[in-house]
Amino acid sequence: MYPLFRSLLFHLDPERAHALTLSLMRLAGALAPMREVLRRWFAAPPSPVSAFGLQFSNPIGLAAGYDKDGLAWRGMACLGFGHIEVGTVTPHSQPGNPAPRLFRLPQDRALINRLGFPGKGAAFVARQLQGKRPGGLVLGVNLGKNKDTSNEHAVEDYLTLLRIFAPLSDYLAINVSSPNTEGLRRLQAREALENLLGALIAERQEANLPRHIPLLVKLAPDLTVPQLEDALDVIVRLRVDGVIATNTTTDHSGLCSPFAKETGGLSGAPLRERSTRMVHLIHQITGGKLPIIGVGGVMSPRDAQEKLDAGAALVQIYTGLVYSGPGLIKQILLNL
């Protein structure tokens, strides 16, 4: 059934198609009968996982970027995800980069985006997260700085977001690796990352929260080994709870699509090997002591298992949903 739906969606502009699917899932999440139907369709045996102090009903999650404003996460939860990561959220609303800014590459089973954190801002997203939560779902929020916030003042944006979303989420992901906000990836450098994470950890302690809120850092797949070692040294030394590996890549080599030369972050099948290699390196460098969420190019059950075998505790998908449909979650879980 999904191939027919996908063929219809692929006749629409990519952003319009994405907005349509979000609207449908938001509606489904608001209607109890639809939620029940979806749960029955996509039900799979539980496969419990423990990571960074949280219990997950299964290791498969929805990556950040799919539901930036927290509109459809209740409906998406009915598809069988063990966790959902909302965002990236910025303190203030912003339009993102000019369109066109999202491109399908069917020949490569990939997407290129240069969205630039478009969204309605933290206050709007916080309202979407309030209220009853689906049972058994772990909810994360991915945090980023506004485009007009300099790197020197970026810590203030992240601190603002931590204060807002720590009471509303199960974990927070610190996004310093999107290629579509100018200069953001420089926050992965040793000194900048230490200043940012040190401030966030101190704020988390001073906030006197009723429960521990894990902090995770989302890293780029384009880091050199020395850069990765620097980042991990900071993350391990400050006792950050985990990492997400990886964001999209700026390396577009080997693509077949006519959109290959578009600027932006590449996701999907061409990212699989690079992101899996990063998961393996992180696992190796940290001696397996740092929990990893593996993301990038998970298009099939085999791809998910590859991430887990490389050292990931959890796996996230996004582009795989576009090409394979929501049945992918159940397929993965049945084959783990």
Residue 105 belongs to a domain with what CATH number? 3.20.20.70
> Rounded to an integer, what distance in angstroms lies between the CA atom of residue 89 and that of residue 87?
5
| Consecutive H or E run containing 153 | none
**Model confidence at 271, in pLDDT bands (50, 70, 90)?**
very high
Specify the 3-state DSSP secondary structure of 277: helix
What does the pLDDT read at residue 3? 83
What does the pLDDT read at residue 282? 98
Q: Is the predicted pLDDT of residue 5 greater than 90, yes or no?
A: no
Q: Is the predicted pLDDT of residue 4 greater than 90, yes or no?
A: no
**30: Cβ–Cβ under 8 A, 6 or more apart, which residues?**
74, 75
**Model confidence at 256, in pLDDT bands (50, 70, 90)?**
very high
One of 57, 178, 257, 275 is an active-site residue; which one?
178
User: Exposed, middle or buried: residue 36 (CB in 10 Å: 0-12, 13-18, 19+)?
Assistant: exposed
Q: Give 188's Cβ-side CA count (13 Å radius).
A: 29
The domain tally of the chain equals 1
What does the pLDDT read at residue 209? 87
Its domain, for residue 319, covers 2-335
For residue 334, what are its two tokens?
Answer: 């049945």
Q: Is the predicted pLDDT of residue 291 greater than 80, yes or no?
A: yes
The number of angstroms, rounded, from the C-alpha of 168 to the middle of its chain's C-alpha atoms is 17
Average pLDDT, the chain: 95
What does the pLDDT read at residue 1? 75
User: Residue 331: how many CB atoms within 10 A of its CB?
Assistant: 16
Mean pLDDT of 179-208: 93
**125: Cβ–Cβ under 8 A, 6 or more apart, which residues?**
69, 70, 86, 87, 89, 119, 141, 165
What does the pLDDT read at residue 199? 97
What does the pLDDT read at residue 93? 97
Residue 130 zone, left/alpha/beta (φ > 0; ψ -120 to 50; rest): beta
- pLDDT tens, 200-230? 999 999 988 889 999 999 999 999 999 999 9
- Proportion of the chain above pLDDT 70, given as a percent: 100
178: annotated active-site residue: yes
Higher pLDDT, 209 or 295: 295
What does the pLDDT read at residue 109? 96
